[in-house]
Amino acid sequence: MGKAIFYALAVRKRASGKFLRENFQPDREHSPTRSAPWHKFLSQTLASVRWLSYSLAPMASYRVLVSDPISEKGVDALRSSPEISVDVKTGLKPDELLAIIGDYHGLVIRSETKVTPAVFAAAKNLKAIGRAGVGVDNIDRSAATDHGVVVMNTPSGNTISTAEHAFALMLSLARNIGQAHCSMISGRWDRKTLQGVEMFGKRLAIVGMGRIGTEFAKRAQAFGMIVVAYDPFLTAARAQSLKVELAESADEALTGADVVTLHIPLTPETTHLLNASRIALMNPGALIINCARGCLVDEAAAKASMDAGHLGGIALDVYEVEPPPADFGLFNAKKCVFTPHLGASTAEAQENVGIEVAHQVKNFLTTGAIVNAVNMPNLDSRTLETLGPYLDLADSLGKLLSKIAPSQCDGIRVSYLGPISELDTELITRKVLSGYLSGAHHEAQVNLINAPAIAKAHGIQVTESTVALATNCTELIEVSAIKGDEVCTVAGTFFGKSARIVHIAGHYVETSPTGRFLFVENDDRPGIVGTIGTALGSASVNIANMALSRNADRKQAVTVIEVDTEPPAKLLESLRATPGIIRVLSFEL
On whether residue 373 sits in a domain, the answer given is: no
At 64-74, the pLDDT tens digits run: 999 999 999 99
Helix (H, G, I), strand (E, B) or coil at 295: helix
pLDDT band for 440, please (50, 70, 90 cuts): low
Residue 26 CA to residue 102 CA, distance in Å, equals 30
pLDDT value of position 499: 93
Domain shared by 145 and 163, yes or no: no
Helix (H, G, I), strand (E, B) or coil at 111: coil
The pTM assigned to this predicted structure is 0.69
CATH number at residue 522: 3.30.70.260
Which positions are annotated as active-site residues?
A: 293, 322, 341
pLDDT value of position 66: 97
Q: Is the pLDDT of residue 398 over 90?
A: yes
pLDDT value of position 445: 60
| Number of Cβ atoms within 10 Å of the Cβ of 207 | 27
Domain boundary among 55, 80, 95: 55
CATH number at residue 259: 3.40.50.720
On whether residue 374 sits in a domain, the answer given is: no
Q: How many domains does the chain have?
A: 5
Q: Is the pLDDT of residue 201 over 60?
A: yes
Angle CA(402)–CA(216)–CA(254) in degrees, nearest 5?
Answer: 55
Answer with the residue of higher pLDDT: 370 or 241.
241
On whether residue 372 sits in a domain, the answer given is: no
Q: Is the pLDDT of residue 31 over 70?
A: no
Q: Is the pLDDT of residue 336 over 90?
A: yes
Residue 458 CA to residue 217 CA, distance in Å, equals 15
Domain boundary among 456, 487, 508: 508
On whether residue 447 sits in a domain, the answer given is: yes
Helix (H, G, I), strand (E, B) or coil at 112: coil
At 111-150, the pLDDT tens digits run: 899 999 999 999 999 999 999 988 788 999 888 877 778 8
Domain that holds residue 492: 379-508
Residue 38 CA to residue 12 CA, distance in Å, equals 19
At 240-259, the pLDDT tens digits run: 999 999 999 999 999 999 99
Domain shared by 405 and 272, yes or no: no
CATH number at residue 487: 3.30.1330.90
Domain shared by 99 and 239, yes or no: no
As a whole number, the mean pLDDT across the chain is: 85
On whether residue 551 sits in a domain, the answer given is: yes
Residue 495 identity (one-letter amino acid): F
Domain shared by 180 and 312, yes or no: yes
Q: Where are the alpha helices (DSSP H) in 425-568?
A: 426-437, 451-457, 528-538
pLDDT band for 384, please (50, 70, 90 cuts): low
On whether residue 99 sits in a domain, the answer given is: yes
Domain shared by 325 and 290, yes or no: yes
Residue 255 CA to residue 239 CA, distance in Å, equals 19
Domain shared by 198 and 331, yes or no: yes
On whether residue 304 sits in a domain, the answer given is: yes
On whether residue 26 sits in a domain, the answer given is: yes
Domain boundary among 55, 73, 99: 55
Domain shared by 214 and 330, yes or no: yes
At 557-581, the pLDDT tens digits run: 999 999 999 999 999 999 999 999 9
Residue 266 CA to residue 208 CA, distance in Å, equals 11
| Number of Cβ atoms within 10 Å of the Cβ of 553 | 7
pLDDT value of position 32: 34
Helix (H) or strand (E) holding 350: helix 347-367
Domain shared by 396 and 333, yes or no: no
Domain shared by 233 and 206, yes or no: yes
Domain shared by 301 and 358, yes or no: no
Domain shared by 436 and 572, yes or no: no
At 283-325, the pLDDT tens digits run: 999 999 999 988 999 999 999 999 999 999 999 999 999 999 9
Domain shared by 301 and 210, yes or no: yes
